[in-house]
Amino acid sequence: MPTILGELAGVEARSKKYMELHVLAKITLPLFISLSLPFAREPLQALALVAVSAAACAAAGVPLSVLRKYLLVIVSMSAFIVLAFSLFTYIPGRVLYEVTLWRVQAEKGVFEWKIAVTDAGLRYSTAFILRIFAMVLSATLLLASVTDRDLVWGLLSLRMPFGACVAASLFFRGIHLFVSDFHTVREAMMARGVDFERTPLAKRFMLYANALIPLLSLMITRSYEVSLALESRGITPGSRSASGYHAYRMRRSDYLVVLAGVGLMLAFAAWGWSA
């Protein structure tokens, strides 16, 4: 069964040992990497977290080369963050560059709008951008290794209600359905003569905004159909599975991965507090 990211972008973890881990272990490791983000305040700490996230993806066999096509989006977003910090935020520190954009003489004083690039601002921006990369890698690790079946079986092994397990599975399945519907609507618009590649950015944004109308209609229709299917099978939020045919227990390797995630978060917490 393909993973969630495998259905969306064709990216799946290739390590057989990692894919055989309990779903709790496969969720815990990216979760604790994400929980370590607030403690990585300095660029070196954030860079170390990026290295840990990349190493975890490599150990799981996630093909990071496919992320190259998203690199332009990530770089553009990072450049926007740096620009926003430079233009609208002044972080005290040693000034590296300063220029006055606007100066107004008023009765109560002088109002100035300056761009002041400080060493502290650059450190903060760099750490923020690196944390974004770490967050992207941890999310990739999670979605490239978890399937809908993993969610249902794993949550059932933790004695969760069957209805809640189905709801969690439908949530991630809904992402795939939304993307599939978006491509269908986009292809329908292209068949009617819409050229997204040559259309200006502002008009393209309006076209995508108009595409939300059929997408919302499809989402409502699918939600109604799913609710009818669940009701016909007698599944409610408090339902429990009548029988189980799959033994899905935590093993030693699963506990080791969970302990590694906890140890990672505690190590970054200690590093962040001591810095």
The three-state DSSP-derived secondary structure of the chain is CCCHHHHHHCCCCCCHHHHCCCHHHHHHHHHHHHHCHHHCCCHHHHHHHHHHHHHHHHHHCCCHHHHHHHHHHHHHHHHHHHHHHHHHCCCCCCEEEEEEEEEEEECCEEEEEEEEEEHHHHHHHHHHHHHHHHHHHHHHHHHCCCCHHHHHHHHHHCCCCHHHHHHHHHHHHHHHHHHHHHHHHHHHHHHCCCCCCCCCHHHHHHHHHHHHHHHHHHHHHHHHHHHHHHHHCCCCCCCCCCCCCCCCCCCHHHHHHHHHHHHHHHHHHHHHHHC
Using one digit for the tens of pLDDT, what is the confidence trace for 221-250? 888 888 888 778 777 666 666 555 556 677
What is the reported pLDDT for 262?
92
User: Mean pLDDT for the chain?
Assistant: 78
What is the reported pLDDT for 187?
86
Longest dimension (CA), the chain: 80
Reported confidence tier of residue 263, pLDDT bands at 50, 70, 90: very high
What is the reported pLDDT for 51?
92
Give the global pTM: 0.71
Using one digit for the tens of pLDDT, what is the confidence trace for 74-109? 767 776 766 666 666 666 777 767 666 676 776 666
Tell whether the model's pLDDT for residue 199 goes beyond 90: no
Q: Mean pLDDT across the stretch 201-222?
A: 81
